[in-house]
Structure 1
Amino acid sequence: MSALLPIAGTAQVRRYARDLFRRNPRALGIMVGLHVLAALAGLVGPRLLGDLVESIQHSKGVEAIDRLAAWIAGFVVLQAVLTRFAHLASARLGERVLADLREEFVERVLALPLSTVERAGSGDLLTRTTRDVDALSRCVRLAVPETLIAVITGILVLVAMVLVSPVLALALLVAVPVLVIGTRWYLKRAPEAYLKQNATYSTVTDGLAETVEGARTVDSLRREQQRIDRTDTDLHRTWLAEKYTLFLRTVWFPVVEVGYVLPVVAALLVGGALYLNGEVTLGQYTAAVVYAQMLIDPVDRLLSWLDELQVGTASLARLLGVAEGEPERSAAEVPVPAGTGIEVRGVRFAYVAGREVLHGIDLTLTPGERLAIVGPSGAGKSTLGRLLAGVHQPTAGTITVGGVSLDDLPLDRLRTEVALVSQEHHVFIGTVRENVAMVRPGVGEDEVRAALAAVNALDWSLTLPGGLDTEVGAGGHPLSSAQAQQIALARLVLADPHTLVLDEATSLLDPRAARDLERSLAAVLHGRTVVAIAHRLFSAHDADRVAVVEDGRITELGSHDELVAANGPYAALWRSWHGERTPADRGETSADLIADHKGARATGAASF
């Protein structure tokens, strides 16, 4: 199972939530002000109703009664109008806050190191970008404003009741123990329960994504039932998590319902007794009972949306946790490499603790050098390449460029120093021009054309239906694999890294497309430091040096001719790749073998 991305702490969530709303002080002030006015308008009605009852009791005349009834109707209409505009203000603020949060989340996701995403798997990230964002959207747009409204209304109702009769207001305290104890019991368990529930959603999404992406493999190996069992297990865990949160609600909600009824009952009983004793008027008694009844709505709204706030808080913690542990640096703190040479010292790496893949790698790359990394499958070649490109960080040792550790360089700066080129490439939805220029927004037309020309892609891109403005990507004009890779290489030309790590960038293409793409690569590689992960040994033939990786260690390092002459592991790989017998079997010397390879080079052997 993939390791889930981190989750932000409670203090960080609260601080971030406060900061989000503080960025919009004017909108927040308008929203709160409108809700206060709406609540005040609603509080006038019960007080006037009490006066109306007393007017009828004392027979003050139809005219006075009509006047009070008109005032009550007027305040009801005023409350309705103010409530409408208050809700509009809440919606505007909620959408603005939600937009800020979504934009920041996208920035956090795009700033994640690739190694972090790979460790977590796509399921957790997809769940956070879909389900958690949706849950938080509902929380910000509805739960937060509704809760704020409930708090404001509840406070004003309590104040109004105290003004009517402090003694009757004390009757409301009967509900406090029930509500406090029940709510504390719920809040003690709910945050962790909802975090666990959301994590199970990530596991389900992760398993489904793996099944869909590997559908052909599942079918060819007849592993359908295994994947079904995995999904059933994941769904069962989700059901258990949801069952527990439902249990929390089924205990808490009935307790809360009892807490609603108690204040009204207390107000009726205590108020009735006080009225009979002549300590309060009938008007005060009526107003107090209505206020007690009015208090049910804000308390009910507050506690009902409190459950939604728990869901939203859990989602916000997961969204903020995406960038947890990735400290931001100011421009002044970013170190500047003093050169382009790369030094690897004592590097060790393990994907899983206690199971090292690389053991004590030492290597020096001089600017402009072409290094080929070769070795048997599973030896650690690609892992070493990804470390050199800064995709992964060593578990021990250092990798520096110009004397600065790759770990100390922010991602945008790192990619101007070292870039990884693999057979995987992506065409984004947009025009050809946008796809190329995305690495340097605002770059001029001439530079985009020059980058395409450098990889032999300008001619065919200009023949597209809309030229460089042709829409490509999903739903757009289709591009071949070779054309898509050329677009990716054109981006590299604009990014202009001084070091490139090539992990068989042409291995998935047919021979003709591969040859065309290798000619394009030659333009990109000119004058740069190149590290080629050579799964096919012809890439090592013309390298300045060849590093042989076996069992996570560099066992040989030298030029092609030197390693062939040494008749060690590289020479054995070379002979095996050519299907040759050993020199001793054929009666050849190392010098004969070198001569054969020089002849092959003269006839145009493939190179990088």
Structure 2
Amino acid sequence: MSALPVASPAEVRAEARRLFLRHRRQLCAALAVHVVAAAAGLAGPFLLGRIIDSVTRDPSTGRVDLLAALLAGFIIVQALLTRVAINRSLILGERVFAELRETFIARVLSLPLSTVERAGTGDLVARTTGDIDAMSRTVRFAIPEILVAVVTTVLTLGAAVVAGPLVAVGAIVGLPLLYAGTRWYLNRARDGYLWERAAYATLDGTVSETVDGARTIEALGLSEVRVARTDDDLREAYAAERRTLFLRTVWFPTAEMAYVLPVVATLAWGAWLASAGHATAGQVTAVVLYMVQIVDPVDRLVSWLDELQVGMSSFARVIGVADVPPDRQASGAEPDGEDIRGDDVRYAYVEGQDVLHGVSLRLAPGERLAMVGPSGAGKSTLGRLLAGIHPTRTGSVDVGGVPLVDLPVDQLRREVVLVTQEHHVFVGTLRDNLALAAPSASDDELRHALAAVDALDWADALPDGLDTVVGSGGHVVGPAFAQQIALARIVLADPHTLVLDEATSLLDPRAARHLERSLSAVLRGRTVIAIAHRLHTAHDADRVAVVEDGVISELGSHDELVARRGAYAALWESWHGTPASAEAR
């Protein structure tokens, strides 16, 4: 189940109302043009009926010619007004969609990082791609088409009543069937389409995770497990798709029957009225033509109403992001110093299953701390808490006496920054990618940051230097250089504390060692918490914390821990190949 919520029907209605009020003038103007265009189209059957009556009563060509000219004029006017109305609707749709997209992106970027990590990539990617696309189609086309269809239907029925009140009684034959079928469908469509969107989001997440971790999956022999999970997700998506398909296969034929019946009923009923002298042939012709004409808007209304259900389900998922509660509340307090301190820190990803068990740790400004230990021991989790990514379950993590979660995110990132092995190169120039951390930085400062992470020679060799377009569709940037770009951003951000979680893992050992030495010169005077499997980092650190089973089992300098002959000494011996006892001597 995704950690990202879905908006309730009441919230969807409230958001739709807000959008309507915000754009009501443009919407009303577009709707007015549609109404006039629809009204012009209604003149056709009415005038044709008058032509038939005129031919029957008075075959004078002058009246018939006048009516025919009026009919041609109304057809031309309708075509021109329809073009204007569609143009206005499309422009309005683009404006509304642009606003929704920008609002959604702003909300996504403000999501707590802890929520993003728990939600996973599948659901979030699905909302930013599939749901946005579905919502785009709804805003741009479905809503204008539905409004036009409703207006046209109402006006056509009104015109039929005016043209032949008694004959128009036959139009009500299809209403009970249309009402019952539509009500049945709408009561089930929201849940069906939400299930469908969620199922595909889960499938997307499984596929992307499998692709990203393909080498690990192959190395651990997990291919069959991942295939089985993908098959399960496919079955779920298939079941959801069948459910919505079933709803459509019931509703569509019912709706089609509902708007075909009035044509037959009106024709039969009108024929009887005409034979009994209660209606003229022209009235029957006009009303029957109106019933035929109404088939198109009702058919479009039914088709786009189904599309609206898809769009509204996606809309609920998109605006549901705003319901994610904040994981921190800024207190306004200012840190008094740069020391980092954790007291009795406990944290659980799943309720009742702590992965950290009462960890306490204090770092002096400028200290280098290395955290080592077996995989799954809690190193990365502790690092995230020390960087303020997650709030603690109990206990606290402070900077200068102020809890990290009490700091506004912008201020927090000036205090502490987490650098992981995950990285991203955004579409744009290399300069744009670096300037994300310091928008006002000069080219000299950008080059200095690149030099600090051993990437200046690579940058200078690019076709256009800092102006080279990188990212998707641009110059290909390998994983190692992408990681160096991420590290250069940190140099530009200039925080006083860094948490490095396998930050150089994508570089070969020699290059990583050289890069870390270069960073040491740049980061002199800053507090550095390095989480790594390469123990040369621990050798160079002021202190080493050995994390095992969610607790710090050993804490001290490299030499002290080697001399202690405990867990760290065993790790050092297995990694370095030199007996710890020999080094201690």
TM (normalized to structure 2)?
A: 0.89
Matched, 1:200 2:194: no
Structure-1 residue corresponding to 2:486: 488
Question: After the TM superposition, which of the residue ranges 18-27 and 47-56 deviates more from structure 2?
Answer: 18-27
- 1:48 Cα deviation after fit: 1.9
Matched, 1:51 2:50: yes
Is the alpha carbon distance of 1:474 and 1:558 closer, same or farther for their aligned partners in structure 2, counting shifts above 3 Å? same
Of 494, 515, 518, the residue aligned with 2:516 is: 518
Matched, 1:338 2:335: yes
Matched, 1:123 2:115: no
Structure-2 residue corresponding to 1:383: 381
Structure-1 residue corresponding to 2:252: 253
Structure-2 residue corresponding to 1:603: none
Matched, 1:287 2:286: yes
Code of the aligned partner of 1:345: D
Is the alpha carbon distance of 1:23 and 1:408 closer, same or farther for their aligned partners in structure 2, counting shifts above 3 Å? farther
Structure-1 residue corresponding to 2:309: 310
For 1:432 and 1:510, the matched residues in 2 are separated by 23
Is the alpha carbon distance of 1:173 and 1:440 closer, same or farther for their aligned partners in structure 2, counting shifts above 3 Å? farther
Of 388, 394, 397, the residue aligned with 2:395 is: 397
Structure-1 residue corresponding to 2:468: 470
Partner SS, residue 446 of structure 2: helix
Contact 2:3 2:115 (8 Å CA) reproduced:
no
Structure-2 residue corresponding to 1:324: 323
Contact 2:156 2:294 (8 Å CA) reproduced:
yes
* Equivalent residues in 2 for 1:527-542, closer than 5 Å: 527-542=525-540
- 1:104 Cα deviation after fit: 3.0
For 1:77 and 1:424, the matched residues in 2 are separated by 61
Structure-1 residue corresponding to 2:236: 237
Structure-1 residue corresponding to 2:92: 93
Is the alpha carbon distance of 1:507 and 1:219 closer, same or farther for their aligned partners in structure 2, counting shifts above 3 Å? closer
* Equivalent residues in 2 for 1:97-246, closer than 5 Å: 97-220=96-219, 224-246=223-245
For 1:480 and 1:274, the matched residues in 2 are separated by 81
Structure-1 residue corresponding to 2:358: 360
For 2:224 and 2:457, the matched residues in 1 are separated by 50
Partner SS, residue 372 of structure 1: strand
Contact 1:482 1:513 (8 Å CA) reproduced:
no
For 1:220 and 1:542, the matched residues in 2 are separated by 32
Contact 1:211 1:227 (8 Å CA) reproduced:
yes
- 1:334 Cα deviation after fit: 7.0
Note the alpha carbon deviations across 1:316-335, whole angstroms, 9 max, x for none.
222233453145999xx673
For 2:416 and 2:570, the matched residues in 1 are separated by 32
Contact 1:486 1:520 (8 Å CA) reproduced:
no
For 2:217 and 2:529, the matched residues in 1 are separated by 35
Structure-2 residue corresponding to 1:16: 15
- 1:132 Cα deviation after fit: 2.4
- 1:514 Cα deviation after fit: 1.9
For 1:273 and 1:229, the matched residues in 2 are separated by 66
Note the alpha carbon deviations across 1:29-77, whole angstroms, 9 max, x for none.
3321221111110112222223222212211511001111111111112
Partner SS, residue 495 of structure 2: coil
- 1:363 Cα deviation after fit: 2.7
For 2:478 and 2:246, the matched residues in 1 are separated by 54
Partner SS, residue 304 of structure 2: helix
Code of the aligned partner of 2:159: A
Is the alpha carbon distance of 1:530 and 1:465 closer, same or farther for their aligned partners in structure 2, counting shifts above 3 Å? same
For 2:437 and 2:516, the matched residues in 1 are separated by 22
Contact 2:343 2:360 (8 Å CA) reproduced:
yes
Partner SS, residue 121 of structure 1: helix
Partner SS, residue 506 of structure 1: coil
- 1:348 Cα deviation after fit: 1.7
- Aligned residues: CA RMSD: 3.2
Partner SS, residue 358 of structure 1: strand
Partner SS, residue 118 of structure 1: helix
Note the alpha carbon deviations across 1:117-160, whole angstroms, 9 max, x for none.
43333333333333323322222222111101011112222332
Note the alpha carbon deviations across 1:266-296, whole angstroms, 9 max, x for none.
4334444544555544444433333333332
Question: After the TM superposition, which of the residue ranges 493-502 and 366-375 deviates more from structure 2?
Answer: 366-375
Contact 1:371 1:531 (8 Å CA) reproduced:
yes
Contact 2:383 2:499 (8 Å CA) reproduced:
yes
Partner SS, residue 439 of structure 2: coil
Code of the aligned partner of 2:306: D
For 2:197 and 2:166, the matched residues in 1 are separated by 47
- 1:521 Cα deviation after fit: 1.2
Is the alpha carbon distance of 1:549 and 1:226 closer, same or farther for their aligned partners in structure 2, counting shifts above 3 Å? closer
* Equivalent residues in 2 for 1:553-568, closer than 5 Å: 553-560=551-558, 563=561
Is the alpha carbon distance of 1:233 and 1:515 closer, same or farther for their aligned partners in structure 2, counting shifts above 3 Å? closer
Identity of paired residues, percent? Answer: 59
Code of the aligned partner of 1:505: A
Structure-1 residue corresponding to 2:503: 505
For 1:289 and 1:479, the matched residues in 2 are separated by 67
Contact 1:349 1:394 (8 Å CA) reproduced:
yes
Note the alpha carbon deviations across 1:305-350, whole angstroms, 9 max, x for none.
11111111112222233453145999xx673533333332332222
Contact 2:426 2:471 (8 Å CA) reproduced:
yes
Segments of 5+ residues of structure 1 without an aligned counterpart are: 587-591, 597-608
Partner SS, residue 399 of structure 1: strand
For 2:367 and 2:121, the matched residues in 1 are separated by 36
Code of the aligned partner of 1:206: G
For 1:300 and 1:524, the matched residues in 2 are separated by 68
Is the alpha carbon distance of 1:265 and 1:389 closer, same or farther for their aligned partners in structure 2, counting shifts above 3 Å? same
Note the alpha carbon deviations across 1:532-564, whole angstroms, 9 max, x for none.
224344333454443332211123444455555
Partner SS, residue 528 of structure 2: strand
Structure-2 residue corresponding to 1:451: 449
- 1:461 Cα deviation after fit: 3.0
Matched, 1:297 2:296: yes
- 1:209 Cα deviation after fit: 2.1
Structure-2 residue corresponding to 1:605: none
Matched, 1:348 2:346: yes
Contact 1:430 1:471 (8 Å CA) reproduced:
yes
Is the alpha carbon distance of 1:210 and 1:248 closer, same or farther for their aligned partners in structure 2, counting shifts above 3 Å? same
For 1:85 and 1:423, the matched residues in 2 are separated by 54
For 1:290 and 1:479, the matched residues in 2 are separated by 65
For 2:438 and 2:405, the matched residues in 1 are separated by 23
For 1:6 and 1:424, the matched residues in 2 are separated by 26
Question: After the TM superposition, which of the residue ranges 442-451 and 79-88 deviates more from structure 2?
Answer: 442-451
TM (normalized to structure 1)?
A: 0.86
For 2:132 and 2:10, the matched residues in 1 are separated by 20
Structure-1 residue corresponding to 2:429: 431
Is the alpha carbon distance of 1:266 and 1:400 closer, same or farther for their aligned partners in structure 2, counting shifts above 3 Å? farther
Segments of 5+ residues of structure 2 without an aligned counterpart are: none
